[in-house]
Structure 1
Amino acid sequence: MRRSFTRKLMKPGSSSKGKSNLPDKGSRFRLGYEQGYEQGIAKGKESFGQPFHGTSIVIPSYNQVEYLARCIESIMTHTAEPYEIIVVNNASTDETDAYLEKRSLQIRSKRLDTNHGFSGGVNQGIMMAKGDTIVILNNDVLVTPGWLTHMLRCLQSDSMIGAVGPVTNYISGDQQIAVPYKTVDQMWEYAATHFKPDETKWRQTDRLVGFCILFRRELLERVGYFDEGFRVGNYEDDDWMIRIRLSGLKLLIAGDSFIHHFGSVSMKNLGQKQFNAVHRHNELYFREKWGNPHVWVEKVRRNDSLFQNTVSSISAGSPADFFPSHVLIRDQGGQHYFLCDGAKSPCAALEDETGIRPVVLSRMDIRSIPTTEASMSEAALLSELKPPSGELADGQLVSCGDGTVYQWIKGSVRPIVSEFALKRWNLKERSLVMLPPEKLENLPHGLPIIAPPILKNPVL
C-alpha cells in the first residue's frame, strides 16, 4: 500500500501541499519540444534560399516510379559527399506521388500540373536547388561507388571546366563505353572493381548528354536556363552544351566515374509514333535555332582577341553577352526594360500603342544585366527602336546579301546566328542596310547574337 500511496502523491497534475512547483517530466519534454520546434522553424526561415556546401541532385521524373525508387536508393547508398535530392514530378499518373510522400523527409519534391518535359522539369529543379554544385540526373540510372566524388574532383581541377559527365553503358556519343556485364547484379561487381580515382581517364569533349551533368551553381548565371521550346526530351541538352562552349568553358568526361543507364525509359514509354514526332520537332527546332552551331563556336575560338575577352569575362559574364542591343525586354513579372549596349533601362510598355513587343526573359537573366538609373521616355524609346531607314545607326541591321544578318553597334558588327534568332528578338520587321562585302568583312566582329530560351514557367 505504501508504494501505491507514493505513486498517487507523485501523479502528474496533483496538488499536494509541499510538492515542488517544477513541471513534471512529461511537461518539461513537451515544453522543450515546442521550443525546439519553434527555433527550428525560425532557423529554417532564416536559411531558406541560402546555398549549402554540397550538391543538389535534380531528377525530373515522369511515371516509372520503380526506376525512380531504384535511382534514389543508389544515390543514398553510394554518395559520400553532402547532397540533397530534388525530384520534379512531371504530372506523373502512376504511384510517384505516394512514393515521394513516403520519402518526404529525405527528398524535396515539386509536382507540376502538366508534363513540362525534360527542360521544364530541370528548370524547376534548378530553381529549387541550394547546393554549390548541381547534378542533373535521369530517373532511369543507377549511380555507383565514387560516382560523384570523381566528377567533383574533375570539375574542381580547373576553373575553366563548365560541366562534367560520367561514362556509362548506354548512351549516344563519347560517354558510352564497352561493358562486360549483362545483368544489374553483374554491373555492381564490375563497378566495384573498375572505377577507382584515375585522372588519366579524364578527357575533353564537345558534347555531354543530359542523363547526368555536374556543374557549378555559377554556370547558371553565365548560361541561363534550359530552353523549354523543346518538347518532352532530346536536343535540349545539346542546346545547353553549345551555350556553355560559346562562353569559352570546357566540357569534360570523367572516365573514372561510371553510372548504369537503363536508357530512355520515359521516351520509349511514349510509343514509337509519338517518340518519332517529338524527335522530329526537337531536331527541327534545334536546326532552326542554330543552323550549324559548331561553326559559331569555332568562329569565336578562331577570333583570338574575341575569345580571350569572352574567357576573361566568365566570372562576371551573363547570357546577355550574346543578346542584341536596342531591343525591348521584360521579366516574367511584367517589368519592361530597354536593353542597350549590355545595360537595361526601365521603361513603359509600348505594345498597345506601337505593336513593338518585348522579349520575355527569366528573372535570373534580367538580374544579371546592369540597370541604368534613369527611366526612358516613350519618345526617346521610339527614336532608339526605329532608327531612320537606310542609315547606319546603333542597333541597325546590316547585311551584304550572303544570308547572314548583323547588328551594327558603334562601328562593329555582330552576326545573328539564324532567322529564328532574328524573329525571337522581334527584329524581323526592322529595315536592313546593305553593305559591300569587303566593307563588312573588314569591320570588327563581336560575339554572335543567339536566341534566348523559351520559358513556359512564370516563376523563372
Structure 2
Amino acid sequence: MKGSISRTMVKPDRRKRTNRNSVEAASNSYRLGYERGYEQGIEKGKAAFGQPYHGTSIVIPSYNQVEYLIRCIESIESHTPEPHEIIVVDNGSTDGTGAYLDQRSGQLRFKRLDINRGFSGGVNQGLMMAKGDTIVILNNDTLVTPGWLGHMLQCLQSDAQVGAVGPVTNYISGEQQIDVPYANVEQMWEYAATRSKPDQKEWRPTDRLVGFCILFRRTLLERIGYFDEGFRIGNYEDDDWIIRARLCGLKLMIAGDAFIHHFGSVSMKTLGTEQFHEVDGYNERYFAGKWGNSHAWVEAVRQQGAGRWHEATSGNPASPAEFFPSHVLIRDQGGREFFLYHGAKHPCSGFGLAERTGLQSVTLSRMDILHIPTAENALRGEELLNFVLSMEKESADGQLVSDADGTVYQMSQGSIRPFVSDYALERWQMKGRSILKLPAEQLQLLPRGLPIIAPPVLENPVL
C-alpha cells in the first residue's frame, strides 16, 4: 500500500519539474529571440538612417492655431494620393496643438519644441527629420487642393535645372497671388475642382518663391543647407534661402496648375501691429546687412557661368564649400574641428589648432560639413600646423585684400573672391585679419572667383 502511495506522489513531482523546465526553456528561447530581433532592428535602423524613401516629406512648422493645423492636415490626407509623410514641428504652442499631435501619434511624425524658434528654427527641425527624396515646406494656415502635389512634382521633375517650385494662391506677396472668384472656403472647393487638371502651359519661371509652400529635391537641401535662424520669428528667411538656390544657377518655377488656399500669415498676425513691424524691420535689416545687393550677386555669378549644379544621380553633388572661403577653421555642433582649404576639409579635432594658430572656429551644420569633401592626403597634427603657419609666410593665397571702395576679397589660387558683405567677413571670423590694400587697377587684372557668402546661423544644437 505504501508503495502505491509513493508512486502516485512521485509522478506529480516529475511533471512539475518537466513543466517548469519547459516554461524556463520557452522563456529563455523567447528572451533570446527578442534580443536577437531587437539587435537586428537596431542594425537595420542604423543602416536605413538618413536614407530617403521615394516619396515627399511635408514639413509643417506650427505655433498655436491648432484649428488651422487640423484643417491643413485633413486637406493633405484628402487630396494627396502621392507617397508622402507629414511632419509637424510644434514651436512651443500653448493651445491644444500638443494634445492633437498626441492623438495623431503613429499617423504622422511630430516634434514639440520647448520654445518658439520661429519659422527658420521650426523648418530646420522638420528638415532634419525629413526622409523623403523630395520635400515640401508648408504653412499651417493653408488648405491644399486636388492635384496640388502631383502637378508641382511634374514641374520639378521636368528639368534637372529646376531647383524649387511653388503653387499659386489667393493670398501672398509677389507673382504667386492670383485673382480668385470665391468669397469663402466652401466656394473655394468648387473653384479648386475646376483647376485640378495638370497643365504645363501654366508653368512659368520666377525669381522669387514665398515660403508658404515650396517643393524641392533633397539634393538642394544638401547643396545650400538649412534656413538661417538669425531671422526673428518670420519673414525674409525664405528670401535668403531662395537667393542661395539662385546662386547655384537653378531655376525657380511657379506651377500655375497647382492651387493652394492660404488664410494668410495667421501666426504673424497674432503679434500685433507694433511687434509685427519690429520683427519685420529687424529681419529686413538683417537680410540687407547679410547680402547687400543680393540680386546683383546672383547676376554676377550668372554672368561668370558659375553655379554648376550636379544632380544627385551623378553621385557627385556640388560641395556647399563652393561659396565658402578658404583658410578657415570650422566645427560642427558636436565640437569636431576641421581646417577648410579650397573647398576641402582637413580633420583637426583634439589638436588645439585654434589655440596654436589664433584662428577662431566657425560653427556649421553637420550636414554642411558632411558634404564638404575630405582632402586627399589630409594633413593632421604637427604636419597640418606647419602647413597652416607656412601659408602665412610663403604665399599670398588666402590673403585678404581690398580696394578704395572698401570691398574685401580673398586671394584664391590666382583669382580674387569678393565677400558679399561685411557681415559675411565677420561671420567667418575674419574681421580681425590683416587686409592688404591694393590699387584698383591691380585688382582689375585678376580674375574674379565665386563670391563668399555668410553661412546660416544655427541655434538648434542637433542640426
Counterpart position of 1:3: none
- For 2:274 and 2:289, the matched residues in 1 are separated by 23
Counterpart position of 2:51: 50
- For 1:79 and 1:216, the matched residues in 2 are separated by 18
Counterpart position of 2:210: 209
Residue by residue, what CA displacement relative to the aligned partner does 1:177-211 show, whole Å, maximum 9, x if unpaired? 00010100000000001342100110000000000
- For 2:60 and 2:352, the matched residues in 1 are separated by 38
Say which of 417, 424, 428 aligns to 2:431: 428
8 Å CA contact 1:336–1:349 kept in 2: the answer is no
Counterpart position of 2:277: 276
Say which of 446, 449, 453 aligns to 1:446: 449
Q: 1:54-453 residue pairs with structure 2 within 5 A?
A: 54-304=55-305, 306=306, 310-311=308-309, 316-347=317-348, 348-352=351-355, 355-372=358-375, 373-377=378-382, 379-380=385-386, 383=389, 387-388=392-393, 393-453=396-456
- For 2:88 and 2:40, the matched residues in 1 are separated by 24
- Describe the shift of the 1:188–1:122 C-alpha distance in structure 2 as closer, same or farther (beyond 3 A): same
- Describe the shift of the 1:49–1:379 C-alpha distance in structure 2 as closer, same or farther (beyond 3 A): closer
- Describe the shift of the 1:402–1:253 C-alpha distance in structure 2 as closer, same or farther (beyond 3 A): same
How many percent of aligned residue pairs carry the same amino acid? 67
* Number of residues of Structure 1 aligned to a counterpart in Structure 2: 423
8 Å CA contact 2:319–2:343 kept in 1: the answer is no
With 369-378 and 444-453 compared, the bigger mean Cα shift is at 369-378
1:80, distance to aligned residue in structure 2 (A): 1.1
Secondary structure of 1:395's match? coil
| Length-normalised TM-score, structure 2 | 0.87
Say which of 444, 455, 458 aligns to 1:455: 458
Secondary structure of 2:194's match? helix
Counterpart position of 2:20: none
- For 2:388 and 2:40, the matched residues in 1 are separated by 53
- For 1:195 and 1:405, the matched residues in 2 are separated by 51
- For 1:313 and 1:423, the matched residues in 2 are separated by 32
- Describe the shift of the 1:73–1:39 C-alpha distance in structure 2 as closer, same or farther (beyond 3 A): farther
1:125, distance to aligned residue in structure 2 (A): 0.5
AA aligned to 2:55 is G
Structure 2: give runs of 5+ residues left out of the alignment.
Answer: 1-14, 16-29
1:312, distance to aligned residue in structure 2 (A): 5.9
- Describe the shift of the 1:198–1:338 C-alpha distance in structure 2 as closer, same or farther (beyond 3 A): same
8 Å CA contact 1:338–1:381 kept in 2: the answer is no
- For 1:281 and 1:121, the matched residues in 2 are separated by 19
With 116-125 and 49-58 compared, the bigger mean Cα shift is at 49-58
AA aligned to 1:134 is I
Secondary structure of 1:197's match? coil
- For 1:140 and 1:164, the matched residues in 2 are separated by 19
- Describe the shift of the 1:211–1:351 C-alpha distance in structure 2 as closer, same or farther (beyond 3 A): same
1:172, distance to aligned residue in structure 2 (A): 0.4
Residue by residue, what CA displacement relative to the aligned partner does 1:311-361 show, whole Å, maximum 9, x if unpaired? 468852122100000011111110111111111112233445665310000
Secondary structure of 2:346's match? strand
- For 1:320 and 1:256, the matched residues in 2 are separated by 36
- For 2:342 and 2:436, the matched residues in 1 are separated by 20
- Describe the shift of the 1:189–1:234 C-alpha distance in structure 2 as closer, same or farther (beyond 3 A): same
Counterpart position of 2:25: none
8 Å CA contact 1:392–1:433 kept in 2: the answer is no
| Length-normalised TM-score, structure 1 | 0.87
8 Å CA contact 2:56–2:132 kept in 1: the answer is yes
- For 1:272 and 1:173, the matched residues in 2 are separated by 22
Secondary structure of 1:194's match? coil
8 Å CA contact 2:219–2:311 kept in 1: the answer is no
- For 1:45 and 1:342, the matched residues in 2 are separated by 29
Residue by residue, what CA displacement relative to the aligned partner does 1:248-303 show, whole Å, maximum 9, x if unpaired? 11110000000000000011111112111111111111000000100000001112
Secondary structure of 1:339's match? strand
- For 2:295 and 2:311, the matched residues in 1 are separated by 21
